[in-house]
Amino acid sequence: MKHILQSAILIALCFCNYSVFSQMSYGGEPYSFKHSNISEAVPFIEMDRIDAEQLLAEDALVGKEQALRIGVVQPINYTKENCGRIDYLPDGGYIWRVGIYCPDATFASINFSKFIIPKEAELFVYTKDKDFVIGKFTHENQMEGEIFYPQDIPGEAFIIEYYEPGNAEFNGILEMDEVLNGYRDIFNVKDDTKGGLGSANGTCHPNAVCLDAQWHDQINSVVCYTMTAGGYVYMCSGAMVNNTARDGKKYVLTADHCYNSGATWKFYFNYQTSTCNGTTGPYNRSATGCNVRARGSASTSSDFMLLEITGTINSIYNAYLAGWNNTTTTPSSGMCIHHPGGDLKKISTPATIRNGALVYSNRTKYWITTWNYSTGTTEQGSSGSPLFNQNKLIVGQLYAGSSSCVSVPGNAGQAGPSGEDFYGKFSNSWTNNNNTNNAKKLKPWLDPNNTGATTLQGEYLNNVGIANYTEVVNALTVYPNPSNGIVTVSGSFESNEGVCNIYNTLGANVLSRNISLEPEFTMNLNDLMPGIYFIEINDNTNVYRSKIIITK
């Protein structure tokens, strides 16, 4: 049974240690953080303990053709009138707070079935230690149907705080109907000793940043997302994709078998390490809400789904809208970028990519991949992740397969992987055998003006439609490398003017400036902290890119 606990929140003497993260939020800090006269005691609602071992045993019997289950939904019926505590303020306003405790949870969150608050009010959600704070959320965060659901919170407990001033237009309505209780440690909350393995079962998955120099843009297109439906929380992978109108539509290509009717959706960006041997990455960059634009099942099509994110995508995420190829040409090589087991972003190199029509009579809608030794494979949770061809264009999304990191018998002791995987062909999803229903094919959404394009290059959401772009990414010479910040740049530029952007390993743009271009010139990058960066120069015709290392 659920019951109320009385818990005193230990307030740090200095609040400079907490961080406020953005998820369609508007900054600031909770009222109680700024006023020392507010009581520190907050009542907690304790949820039922779930049987994680039993759930994991059930999950072990499920293959890649199903979404990865990561949590359980516990129904509740609470409002700010029937739980928590209210502190009345001198101006006639008040703050309401309540804590939620999910024993042994790896992450947790709350769903509001009614979120109707005046424009003067604000809501925050934070962990008991105040190290993780999201908000503020305002009336502008209300979603269709007068609902709202914030991003997941790491750990087993969190506090909801609502502030309403005395001059508010009306008394806000907050009704909570679901608590999400995570049992898979997708954020490495309980065990950060696993390092890059996180929640992945296998040990052969390289961190995506290991090949960032070659696949930087494509890595920035890949997201993991969660769906809450039918009493559970599920997770899959996907990739943001460009469309020929270049209008900044926030489309995500993924797998149809990840679909759940009536689901609530949360998308996570940049959940990746900053170094090749890194063990942690940010899990606070999210967007919520989406519309399902098109779907095709594995039985009728190539197991594809196109989503359009409705929530705000913060510009600091530096999201990339990947390019695509809708032809039937078999890739000569390629790459898969994904979140196996909900883990930090990984990258896997196919050993072969074959046309399923030439291998199996019932696999005509799929590309078939095998994997190189020690350079990755896929797992449950990788579902929906993109397969890129040799030109770094999406040609498919992961449906199912038997691959794993397990060693292949008779392989001279080398580590796996073994098995093969099936990626639904982008070319099949494009028209779905000339289906007349726009909700069952990609073409109406990704080529809305019916240009007949067979390929499209990717571009960053922050810059979409602003400048011309090209298929070619040219080499750029930068030396000395490593350097102390003063570097010489050399390239075969076609213009005497250009734009220089420098990105860190998380994809954030840390420097942008207009520059004069000569065959060789010097740049002062002393403002950059020591670390690994990627310099990109656009001369309005071509793109030039190089990896640089700053040491001081």
Contacts of 487 by beta carbon, 8 Å cutoff, 6+ apart: 478, 479, 480, 481, 522, 523, 525, 548
Say if residues 459 and 321 touch (Cβ distance below 8 Å): yes
Task: Kindly tell me the number of DSSP H helices and DSSP E strands found in the chain.
Answer: 5, 38
What region does 188 belong to: left with phi over 0, alpha with psi -120 to 50, or beta?
A: left
- E-strand ranges in 65-172 read 68-79, 85-88, 94-101, 107-116, 122-126, 132-137, 153-154, 157-164
Structure tokens at 417: 């992987």
**Cis status, amide bond into 552, omega within 30 of 0:** no
Token pair in block for residue 206: 């390289």
Q: Which residues of 231-240 are buried (b: 16+ CB within 10 A; e: fewer)?
A: ebbbbbbbbb
Cis, bond preceding 417 (omega within 30 deg of 0): yes
Pure H helices in 113-244: 212-219
Express the helix, strand and coil content of the chain in percent, nearest 5 each.
10, 40, 50
Enter the tokens of residue 379. 């797992």
**What pairing do the DSSP bridges indicate for beta strands 3-8 and 41-46?**
antiparallel
Residue 26, SS3 per DSSP: coil
The end-to-end CA distance of the chain, in Å, is 58
Distance, CA of 54 to CA of 72 (rounded, Å): 12
The length of the chain is 552
Q: How far apart are CA 528 and CA 424, in angstroms?
A: 42
The Cα 158–Cα 264 span in angstroms is: 20
For residue 338, indicate whether it is catalytic.
Answer: no
Question: What are the C-alpha distances in Å from 167 to residues 34, 121, 344?
Answer: 20, 10, 45
Tell me if residue 498 falls in helix, strand or coil. Answer: strand
Provide the CA 15 distance to its chain's centre, in angstroms: 29
383 given a catalytic annotation: yes
Catalytically annotated residue among 257, 338, 382, 427? 257
- What is the DSSP code string of 289-337? -EEEEEEE-TTTSSSEEEEEE-S---GGG--EEB-EE-S-PPPSSEEEE
Q: Comparing C-alpha atoms, which of 368, 416, 375 is closest to residue 395?
A: 368
- Longest CA–CA span in the chain (Å) reads 77
Could you give the dihedral angle defined by the CA atoms of residues 536, 537, 542 and 546, in that order, rounded to the nearest 10 degrees?
-40
Active-site entry in 303, 421, 447, 539? 303
Please list the active-site residues. Answer: 257, 303, 383
